[in-house]
Amino acid sequence: MEAYKRVALARKKTRPTGQDFIDNLFTDFIELHGDRCFGDDPAMITGLGLLMDMPVTVIAQERGKNTKSRVKRNFGSSHPEGYRKALRQMKLAEKFNRPIVCLIDTSGAFCGIGAEERGQGHAIANNLMEMMGLKVPILSIVIGEGGSGGALALGVADEVWMLENAIYSVISPEGCASILWKDASKTKEAAKCLKLTAQDLLELQVVDKIISENHRDFKNVYRELKIGLYKSFQKNQALEHEQLTEHRYQRFRKYGAIETISE
Amino acid sequence: MLNKGLFKKPKNELEAQHRIKRKTDPAIPSELCRSCPSCKQLSFTSDLENNFHVCPKCGHHFRINARQRLNMIVDPDTFVEQHHELSSSNRLEFPGYDEKLEQATLFSHENEGVIIGTGKIDNHKVALFVMEATFMMGSMGQVVGEKITLIFEYAHKHHLPVIGYTVSGGARMQEGMLALMQMAKTSGAVKRHSDAGLLYLAILTDPTTGGVTASFAMEGDIILAEPEALIAFAGPRVIEQTIRQRLPKGFQRAEFLLEKGFVDAIVPRSIQKETVKRLLTLHTIPKGGDQNGSI
């Protein structure tokens, strides 16, 4: 399939959002709000739930289902308080030795006056740094659109999975076309060049696994995720803390390491 | 009603600045004189060089390259560069990237957008990284990320503080997700260095934006900035397009970040070396004296 078709599928309005995944993957979910510094960001849902019999911390980006909820959720684009809320929950997960599930679906971190004033760059940077050292298993799944730094701020994990029709990119194809070629009509070409599809990213080892989709029915997706998450957490919880963080460090260390550069 | 030049009226401040600059560019050889982008006054290049490339009239900090910065901060003849040989390849076969790399190498006389190594600052041994704006606007691809990571790993191994100068347009889009991954990779290296109790001093210069702001630039134990440096996650043009509003004056400048609590201090070039030296000294545990405080 053409890369741009995937972009369209990933952004499709009828596609299940973070809340749908929460409802279908976990039982007894309780949402917990606020970053304790500034406010609560509706673009980021955080809380606790049961993955079968395992208590887990859930962090999910939510873009909203209809116009009203999309506006409320700021179309899934978080402000710094969203990332700080996520980190607060992740720190609690570490304290109580719970695995962390991150569900990524955002066109990017919000670009606006308030976001800059409150340190969007700092909030993301802090997440990247702290997630690298968390002593509990983390698994991130790109369920829709993985937009640049705003997605990566939930993406420093032991394993990163991606749905078949999800995308994950350093910049939106629209942004790339207008910056590089000053021509918005080259969006399709940009989508192809950026290597943003699940298949491309599996080949580049940016993601570890693709979850196949039947886009009319997500039941199989949820089932596969549930079992996969459970197995992965069981395996990673058995590791020593040092082994776990060392593995996570090496997972990201490999990108552009000297050996691959000099090839 | 239609007055002349209505259609030439600048739409926003950015465009207006662009116009003014064009009008006042002097017809004098650029080697001899430079006009200050801030106050438009002319200065002799030699005067600028003797004044840390700062406008003597208004204090504007001209953009300078990485080697010039190294000369300003490191004790003479103490800098030892590491991994100068690393250069980028076009792994994603991105159209036009090979040519861009070639041009950037010719233009900047560097192999990539950052220089790393060790040196002495007033006799304190330190590890350094200095980003290079003339190489594709200091954008971070795999080699930049690798070199930053290597210097933090080296500093960790040898118990050295890291002094880092940032200037960057963000992640390099021609390297796709492999560029984005460098944000996580460098953050991991900063974290390990930090967990070992070592100092990382970041000095943000004009402009520091995007993926570099959202990773190692904002991860310093102490973050200094040069006066009026643009420091942003999303650049002003992107924000103006998103919110369709004009941004307030001074928005995202170093002084604004100081006010909002995101940088520790603004340090002009003239006192940068002195400030770094003092901070390094304050992080050095004295050798003499006992636990009771008597010497």
Encode pLDDT of B165-209 as tens digits: 999 999 999 999 999 999 999 999 999 999 999 999 999 999 999
pLDDT at A74 over 70: yes
pLDDT at B294: 59
- Contact between A54 and A99 under an 8 Å Cβ cutoff? The reply is yes
Residue of A nearest to B95 (CA): A193
A170 to B179: CB separation less than 8 angstroms, yes or no: yes
For residue B14, what pLDDT band results from cuts at 50, 70 and 90? low
Contact A115, B252 (CB under 8 A): no
User: Each residue of A86-114: pLDDT tens digit?
Assistant: 999 999 999 999 999 999 999 999 999 99
Domains of chain A: 3-262 (3.90.226.10)
B252: left (phi over 0), alpha (psi -120 to 50) or beta: left
Nearest to B230 by CA among B251, B258, B216, B245: B251
Q: Which of A182, A178, A132 is nearest to A157 (CA)?
A: A132
Question: Can you give the length of chain A in residues?
Answer: 263
Return the percentage of chain B with pLDDT > 90, whole number.
Answer: 73
Nearest chain A residue to B85, by CA: A262
| Separation of alpha carbons A213 and A209, rounded Å | 13
Give the residue, B157 or B239, on which the prediction is more confident: B157
Q: Tell me the C-alpha distance between A14 and A198, whole Å.
A: 20
| CA B55 to centroid of chain Cα atoms | 18
Judged by a CB distance cut-off of 8 A, whether residue B95 touches chain A is: yes
Q: What is the pLDDT of residue B238?
A: 84
pLDDT confidence of residue B30: 64
Q: Write B247-254 long-range contacts (CB < 8 A, 24+).
A: B247/A113, B247/B13, B248/A113, B249/B13, B251/A113, B251/A116, B252/A116, B253/B228, B253/B229, B254/B204, B254/B225, B254/B226, B254/B227, B254/B228, B254/B229
The ipTM (two decimal places) reads 0.96
- Chain A positions in Cβ-Cβ contact with residue B153 (cut-off 8 Å): none
Instruction: Give A104→chain B minimum CA distance, Å.
Output: 15
Given a contact cutoff of 8 angstroms between Cβ atoms, the answer to whether B53 and B68 are in contact is yes
Could you tell me what percent of chain A has a pLDDT over 70? 98
pLDDT(B278) > 60: yes
Residue A132: its pLDDT value, please? 97
Q: Hey, where are the domains in chain B? A: 28-62, 63-282
Task: Give the separation between CA B136 and CA B168, rounded to whole angstroms.
Answer: 9
Cβ B181–A122 below 8 Å, yes or no?
Answer: no
Q: What are phi and psi of B174, to 5 degrees?
A: -70, -10
Residues of chain B with Cβ-Cβ distance to A193 below 8 Å are: 92, 94-95, 176
Per-residue pLDDT at A242 exceeds 90 = yes
**Mutation for A interface: B92, B140, B181, B253, most A CBs within 10 A:** B181
Nearest CB to B233; choose among A120, A196, A261: A120
pTM of the model: 0.91
- Angstrom distance (rounded) from CA A248 to CA A132: 7
For residue B269, pLDDT over 90 is answered with yes
Q: What is the pLDDT of residue B244?
A: 84
Q: Residue A262 — very low, low, confident or very high, per pLDDT cuts 50/70/90? A: low
Residue B244: count of CB within 10 angstroms of its CB: 7
With tokens 């006056």, the residue in question is A113
Find residues 168-227 of chain A whose CB sits inside 8 Å of chain B: 168-171, 176, 179-180, 193-196, 201, 204, 206
Alpha carbons B267 and B274: distance in angstroms, whole number: 10
Average pLDDT, chain B: 90
pLDDT category of residue B240 using cuts at 50, 70 and 90? confident
Q: Between residues 20 and 79 of chain B, which touch chain A (CB distance below 8 Å)?
A: none
Q: Which residues of A touch B217 (CB under 8 A)?
A: 121, 125
Distance CA B189, CA B150 (A): 8
- Which residues 136-165 in chain A show a CB within 8 A of chain B? 148-149, 152-153, 155-156
Q: Check if B166 contacts A (Cβ < 8 Å).
A: no
Q: How many CB pairs under 8 A join A and B?
A: 171
| DSSP-derived 3-state class of residue A96 | coil
SS3 B147: helix
Is B11's pLDDT higher than 60?
A: yes
Interval A202-228 mean pLDDT? 92
- Are residues A128 and B145, on separate chains, in Cβ contact within 8 Å? no
pLDDT tens digit sequence for A166-200: 999 999 999 999 888 888 889 999 999 999 999 99
pLDDT of the residue at B33: 87
**Residue B19 pLDDT level (bands cut at 50, 70, 90):** low
Structural domain B63-282, CATH architecture: Alpha-Beta Complex (3.90)
CA gap A123, A37 in Å, rounded: 12
